[in-house]
Amino acid sequence: MAVPKRKHSNSRTNKRRSHDRLRARQLSPCPNCNAMVPSHVVCPKCGYYQGRIVVAPETADA
């Protein structure tokens, strides 16, 4: 079985992991209410997705 002859340095390990970071979600304005919403997600303010109402909008009952 093949076994590494030497330990990989921390620098080499970190170079390999340099692309593993988290990225910010891509936000776009909702065409109905202009709230910033992630792509391909139902708008939490108005409940619209792809031009039609999918979920009843939240109301401020508190």
pLDDT band at 58 (very low <50, low <70, confident <90, very high): low
Top pLDDT among 2 and 51 is at 2
Condensed to tens digits (0 to 9), the pLDDT of residues 7-43 reads 999 999 999 999 999 999 899 999 989 999 999 999 9
φ, ψ at 41 (rounded to 5°): -135, 140
- The answer to whether residues 46 and 33 touch, using CB atoms and an 8 Å cutoff, is yes
Domain regions of the chain by residue span: 26-62
Contacts of 48 (CB under 8 A, 6+ apart): 30, 31, 32, 33, 42, 54
pTM, entire model: 0.55
Reading the block at residue 61, the tokens are 């009952």
Distance from the first to the final alpha carbon of the chain:
65
